[in-house]
Amino acid sequence: MLTLLKSWVRPDAFHTVLSERGPRWYNACLRITRDADLAADAVQEALLKAWDRRHEFRGDAALDSWIHRIALNAAIDATRRRKTRAEDELDEDGHEAAPASGPESDYSLQALTQDLSAAMQRLSSMERQVFVLKHIEGWRLDEIAESTQTSVAGVKHALFRALKKLRVDLQVWSNES
């Protein structure tokens, strides 16, 4: 078993998983940071941290998943360190309503994509992070609370706010009143 674990943390294993999964880590971090430089830095930080701590890798998960999680934590930390002024200015209820007009019959994919993107952009930094970590990454609420340095209740509250905003924003697209 020890031999197996050692084989997992050899340099070529890191380089291989970087080549194959680096884009996935990058995009995951980008969803957290919404900043290409921060996302790239988060992945690099995660790589180096994982290499330094490779003796801690237990092998009960894929190396990819392990580094992925470290990268997300690095992205969360980076976002905390460098919040954008616009995000800071948004209070909890500072979200603008979705367009009031009804759905067009020829609603284009491009318009849909823009609406979806706009919906995400109207989330505060905390709401977006919690939603991404919960809905996309599948983290537990207590894991999110630990990483974002807040309480489980706070995470749950942010998640509910995010869900409410996203539901409202997507009314136009979903053809529902």
Q: What does the binding site for another protein look like in residue numbers (CB under 8 A)?
A: 11-12, 14-16, 18-20, 22-24, 26-27, 30-31, 36, 40-41, 43-44, 47-48, 51-52, 113, 116-117, 119-120, 131-132, 134-136, 140-141, 156, 159-160, 163, 166-167, 169-170, 173-174, 176
| Long-range contacts (CB closer than 8 Å, 24 or more residues apart) made by 135-143 | 136/28, 136/31, 137/28, 137/72
The span from the CA of 170 to the CA of 114, in Å, is 11
Nearer to another protein, 88 or 114 (CB): 114
Nearer to another protein, 53 or 88 (CB): 53
Nearer to another protein, 65 or 117 (CB): 117
The span from the CA of 99 to the CA of 84, in Å, is 25
Question: Minimum CB separation from another protein for residue 132, in Å?
Answer: 7
- DSSP H/E element including 73: helix 63-81
The span from the CA of 9 to the CA of 20, in Å, is 16
- Count CA atoms closer than 13 A to 111's CA, side-chain side: 11
Name the CA dihedral angle for 31, 167, 123, 68, rounded to a multiple of 10 degrees: -20
Question: Minimum CB separation from another protein for residue 46, in Å?
Answer: 10
Question: Minimum CB separation from another protein for residue 155, in Å?
Answer: 10
Question: Minimum CB separation from another protein for residue 4, in Å?
Answer: 19
Nearer to another protein, 90 or 170 (CB): 170
